[in-house]
Chain A
Amino acid sequence: MNGIIGVFRKEIAITFTSPIFYATGFIFLLVSGYFFYSNTAYFSLLSFQAAQNPFLSESLNLSHMVIKPFFGDISIILLLMLPLLTMRLYAEEKRSGTIELLFTYPISDASVLAGKFAATLVVLLALLAGTLPNMIILETMADLEWGIIVTGYLGVFLMGAGFIALGAFVSTLTENQIVAAVISFGALLILWAVGWAKSLVGPGLGAVLGHLALIGHLDNFTQGLIDTRSMVFYVLFIMFWLFLTHRFLNSRFWRG
């Protein structure tokens, strides 16, 4: 446990001194803020038109037209940004040789991984917390459904944790951070969009692909649902990649 906390603190210290974090954080907040603004502005435009058109006004819903798409936007930006935060997890240690310290200190691979994963989760939380002011400002002008916002954040957090787990695994494969970022970005994009092929293949495989797609499970959360299936999917997704990471690191004991 000591070791996990030690690794965690080290990772946090390095992350918050690195320009990568500040650059990605800045761009993340800028782009997500822009999306939020444009969603809200479009909604207010429609609201003005609805003043003359009573049929339109019935279909207007702040949660569906601003909040739900906003979480979709966030997840896309995270897909672009999180590989940049996970690429260094192991690749940097390999390149700089500090992996030699990490592998010869009396600490298990699992503890190192736990510390690194937890630290990156905190970074993800910090990024997501940065988007909260959008909601709070909107709340001063409109009546928000906070239930949907909470489940939406939970969904985006779980999905982001999945991105991080996959990114951590890819980072163990190479000592080049760019390669790690590119591979995890590509893998995430494919897993993100794998559901699009649903209608092209047979119904059996189509259903499987539909369930594998990362984005489909987020929809439940952004509708205000905490669906056990989606919850389990994300948790299993995280565990799967963490498990692979651990096995791959551990393989140095028998690869010889």
Chain B
Amino acid sequence: MIQVENLTKYYGLKPAIQNISLDIESGKIVGLLGPNGAGKTTILRILTCFMQPTSGRVAVDGLDCRTRSLEVRKRIGFLPETVPLYSDLRVQAFLRFAASIKGLIGGGLRRELDRVISECGLQEHRKRLIKHLSKGLKQRVGLAQALLNDPPLLILDEPTTGLDPAQIIEVRNLIRDLGGERNVLLSTHILPEVSQLCDKVIILHNGRVLKEDTPLNLAREIQQGFRTVISVDGPEDEVLRALSGLQGVIDVRASGRPGEIVVNSSSDEGVRPLMARTIVESGWGLREMRSSELSLEEVFVHLVTEETGQEGENAS
């Protein structure tokens, strides 16, 4: 569906992305994951023909983005990061405008309007001015315009930023439903989002691809075991010593917060009851025990250090 070869883009003298090559096959939800400034938006903007790369080639469905831009744009529904909309128009008028630009007319246009409006839950807001809508509703209008004319490829730039938790879940469900029949390429800096939504993750850092894999494989590779955070009332040194001696525990350290301890273990089920029993039987108070996932920052630290480590090995 999407082929990217040696893509490089400079803003002035600063490279935003460097030598990125990707091959995304169809029928999948693919996530671009990276911190702000990693080059996610730049890649998406080049894919949607909004910008041209400094060098390299991009093709959607085998069509080059530079020379056959209009045909590429017909195949793409795009939701830009800032969700730009014409704030002085009413929802229906804006969607009608987008639909007519996408080549729809007459009855087809009306049917398509009704479809995306109901798909995005905007029935009650048809007549409202876009500038009066909440952030979540604007996001839905943005999604609705991307869905018009049923493009085979949806490109969503950070579709859940700035929404409240209920809206985030709503938008994620919407994307998951959409992904069934279409290809979706989305960018995000939220780690759980990719593991919930995506079939494939591409991790970007400083304009380069660090890793390309399924979320499951990535999690397995990075995490190497399970991590538990425990809050205990008791002498820290003794607790640490007691826990580190347990079977299955890889390492134990204080988290920095008072009474909080982080335990890495090889398995999940067996170790936690054992830890709980040890703490309770020693007469300490067990306040909290929860599993913890690696944060995005930690993933990056992990991947970046791993990469430099490999380079070092290669050099020696």
Contact = CB atoms under 8 A, between A and B. Distances in A.
B84 A10 contact: no
B97 A97 contact: no
B52 A256 contact: yes
B98 interface: yes
Contacts of A13: 88-89, 93
A17 B89 CA distance: 9
B89 A14 contact: yes
Contact of A106 (B54, B82, B88, B101): B101
Given A101-B145, A256-B52, A14 B88 contact: yes
Interface in B44-89: 45, 48-55, 66, 69-71, 73-74, 76, 78, 80, 82, 84-89
A106 B84 contact: no
A202 B53 CA distance: 49
B52 A253 contact: yes
A103 interface: yes
B137 interface: no
B102 interface: yes
B48 to A, nearest CB: 4
B84 A105 contact: no
9 contacts: A3-B103, A5-B100, A6-B100, A10-B89, A18-B88, A104-B50, A106-B71, A253-B52, A253-B69
B202 to A, nearest CB: 21
Nearest to A17: B88
B279 interface: no
B229 interface: no
B100 A3 contact: yes
Contacts of B70: 106-108
Given A10-B93, A99-B84, 4 more contacts: A2-B105, A104-B80, A106-B70, A253-B52
A18 B129 CA distance: 13
Contacts of B99: 6
Contact of B86 (A14, A108, A252): A14
Contacts of B240: none
Nearest to B89: A13
A199 to B, nearest CB: 48
Interface of A: 2-3, 5-7, 9-10, 13-14, 17-18, 96-101, 103-108, 252-256
Contact of B74 (A9, A14, A106, A253): A106
Contacts of B89: 10, 13-14
Nearest to A102: B101
Q: Which 6 A-B pairs have the closest CB atoms?
A: A6-B100, A97-B84, A106-B74, A106-B73, A104-B48, A10-B97
A2 B145 contact: no
A105 B94 CA distance: 13
Contacts of A103: 49-50
Contacts of B73: 104-107
B1 interface: no
Contacts of A252: 51-52
Contacts of A253: 52, 66, 69
B98 A105 contact: yes
Nearest to B109: A2
B145 to A, nearest CB: 7
A17 B66 CA distance: 36
B104 interface: yes
A110 to B, nearest CB: 11
A108 B55 CA distance: 23
A18 B86 CA distance: 12
A254 B52 contact: yes
Interface in B11-67: 45, 48-55, 66
Contact of A98 (B48, B52, B66, B85): B85
A158 to B, nearest CB: 29
Given A9-B97, A101-B98, A101-B145, A96 B52 contact: no
Nearest to B94: A10
